Amino acid sequence: MKNTVAGVDYRFTDSQLLLEALTHKSAGSVNNERLEFLGDSVLSLVITGRLFELRPDAREGDLSRMRARLVRGVTLADLALGLGLGKHIRLGEGELKSGGFRRASILADTLEALLGAIYLDGGYAQCQRVITELFDPLIDKLPSCEELKDAKTRLQEWLQARARPLPVYTLKSEAGADHAKTFYVCCELSDDGTTVEASGNGRRKAEQAAAARLLQILQEGQGS
């Protein structure tokens, strides 16, 4: 039975732990859900410490946004994909036929489970080393603290800096089937009546799109 995964610099003493980490719940009752839970916590702790060390001038809110960018599902899935983790995952017949080894959520969960298994097999220091090797290149490529803020936050800070009232978001309409709805949102400033509309496949996404559009208008109008 194998005791390593290509792309991950760690050799398991207990190969059963590795097998469990690579087993999706669709493949049996002994699967990686518990290891995923553990790995998620260890990953968050290591990334928190790494950001605290590497970004000494970052404020708490900035550190939180950086951590969220690193440990979010899409980042983990991309990392797992780059490691070729999908070809090692043990899936049930249904998931296998539907291409589960390419599904972002399964890839992300499996990577977390693998980290949890490394923690149990080799201890915190070994798990920390593996996480550092995998994530330091991503930390180096993080956008600026300002770019990491979502559009609504950036719009709010821009307005507050100029003592202007906060925008009002109003859901104007929804369209489409329940599983594929499009939301149309209006974002308005009460002090001058500036209004923009935007859409998205979720209300929050529509609000973010409207905020980004309004912020662009405001910045272009004042040159800042």
DSSP secondary structure string for all residues of 13-69: S-HHHHHHHTB-GGG-SS-SHHHHHHHHHHHHHHHHHHHHHH-TT--HHHHHHHHHH
List the catalytic residue out of 20, 36, 40, 207. Answer: 40
Q: What is the torsion angle, in degrees rounded to the nearest 10, for the CA atoms of residue 16, residue 22, residue 24 and residue 29? A: 0
List the catalytic residue out of 20, 95, 109, 112. Answer: 112
Tell me the C-alpha distance between 77 and 70, whole Å: 11
140 classed as catalytic:
no
Task: Please provide residue 166's backbone torsions phi and psi, each rounded to the nearest 5 degrees.
Answer: -75, 155
40 classed as catalytic:
yes
Tell me the C-alpha distance between 106 and 31, whole Å: 12
Q: Closest Cα partner for 167 from 146, 142, 193?
A: 193
Check: CB of residue 115 under 8 Å from CB of residue 127.
yes
220: tokens are 């272009």
Q: In Å, how far from its chain's centre is CA 50? A: 17
List the catalytic residues.
Answer: 40, 112
